[in-house]
Copies of this chain bind each other. A is one copy, B any other.
Amino acid sequence: MHSLLPTLRRTLGDDAVLTDAADTAGYVTDWTGAFAGAALAVVRPADTAGVADTVRLCAQAGVAVVPQGGNTGLVGGAVPDGSGGDVVLSLERMRRVRGLDPVGDTITVEAGVVLRAVQERAEAAGRLFPLSLGSEGSCTVGGTVSTNAGGTAVLRYGMMRELVLGLEVVLPDGRVWDGLRALRKDNTGYDLKQLFIGAEGTLGIVTAAVLRLFPATPRRATALVALASADAATELLPLLRQECGGTLTTWELLGRQAMELVLTHVPGARDPFDSTHEWYGLVELAAGSDDVGERLEAALHAAAAQGLLLDAVIAGNPAQRTSLWTLREGLAEAQKLDGLSVKHDITVPISSLAGFVAEVGPRLRALLPGLRLVTYGHVGDGNLHYNLSAPVGDEAALRAAAGELTGLIYDAVAERGGSISAEHGLGVLKRGAAATYKSEVELDLMRAVKRALDPGALMNPGKVLP
């Protein structure tokens, strides 16, 4: 037995240190099942001091630490490699809401608080915490900060980076940086919290955060529209922005094959249109007191007048609203049920998005006839989940061609000045591709930052940087 284990048990208590395979299994394999590793132990501290103790003891023993929140990531960023030599540090017991300030519009929460709990606590105070994504029932504050999570309300509220006012972080040497400020403005030197947001736990461990709250938006208006082309989706964006003022919250794109997957696999999903269309847009407005229904109708009329819409259905009640959202939110599950899915989470400048779709799709299908393009995403952010499902009945063909298909997509993204990871991060899955497409100068800067903060390279090793 590694001599670190009794020390950890003595310091944190026996129940905080898991080593039995049955206990650690859920922590060493990721949600997708694609990344399965092993750990020396899984440590579950109950507070910041416990996290600091764990990190300090591991550093003294030269043992690397893999921080983990809700383990809902898609790139293998929160699970250990197969060596069995690292400690997984789970933040799941740190679930305190430390405070909510309704005048300052802030909430202070520990890293293990689940995203939905933050949303609910805000709602109970008549406020809104706007970050919203598929895994919100399981993912945690620490994870969403460390991966700079996005989701379906980024268009209006920004990504997690823009929602964080302050952080508490355990540094790689076990010291605690108390940067839990609840300030809108603070220009007293380098904005250190930015280092840890989106760093995937490679520079330190986020233990708590001060997050921004917003006025509640109980009024919502939602529509699914049929579009003549992907072009129409980007052309509609400025019109929607102008017509809806600040109430435009969501503008999502779905391709026909994405829609078909959901209709096939998700119970209760139904196509609200009589005929099929190549592209769909899901639009949602939200406000405190504005008549967003009226606004949405006016916006859709203006869009129709410009020939940008083929058809539209507006949700008339909450059940209809849920039904429209199912078409979007059922996609992750539908792809999983359908079988092999080669996923790409890309951004291009919004003005290049339609051109990207028009050019790249046919080239992919030329490489692999019958390939199903499961295209959907946050068109208002230029972010597509540009996923590939196999020709029906031929997963082997997709498996064989996957590398070439992904290479083609990433090259096309790079040509347009895009990003090969819009919101999922790099983890293990994309660290190599990122290194390929980034400049040497940029990689040098990243390495310099890593060395400066984690000279022993003990924080989430092998993630982000190859």
Chain A residues in contact with chain B, CB under 8 A? 101-106, 147-148, 150, 154, 158-159, 161-162, 171, 175-192, 194-195, 197-199, 203, 215, 234-235, 237-238, 241-243, 245-247, 287-290, 347-351, 378, 380-383, 417-426, 430, 434, 437-439, 441-442, 445-446, 448-453, 464-465
Contacts and interface: CB of A to CB of B under 8 A. Distances in A.
Given A179-B442, A289-B243, A446-B190, A185 B102 contact: no
A163 to B, nearest CB: 11
Contacts of A105: 238, 350
Contacts of A383: 184-185
- One complex includes copies of this chain to the number of 2
B188 A438 contact: yes
B190 A195 contact: yes
Given A350-B105, A451-B452, A187 B198 contact: yes
Given A246-B245, A442-B179, A448-B452, A422 B187 contact: yes
A347 B241 contact: no
Contact of A237 (B103, B106, B235, B441): B103
B104 A351 contact: yes
Given A150-B185, A154-B184, A242-B288, 15 more contacts: A102-B238, A104-B350, A150-B187, A177-B442, A179-B442, A182-B417, A184-B381, A186-B421, A187-B424, A189-B438, A192-B445, A195-B445, A243-B289, A245-B288, A452-B452
A327 to B, nearest CB: 22
Given A103-B351, A288-B245, A188 B441 contact: no
Contacts of A442: 177, 179, 192
A198 B191 contact: yes
Given A103-B351, A105-B350, A290-B245, A190 B198 contact: yes
A186 B186 CA distance: 24
Contacts of A103: 234-235, 237-238, 350-351
A171 B421 contact: no
Contact of A194 (B191, B241, B247, B423): B191
A246 B243 contact: no
A350 B181 CA distance: 12
11 contacts: A101-B349, A148-B187, A175-B441, A177-B439, A183-B348, A183-B349, A184-B382, A185-B423, A190-B199, A246-B246, A448-B453
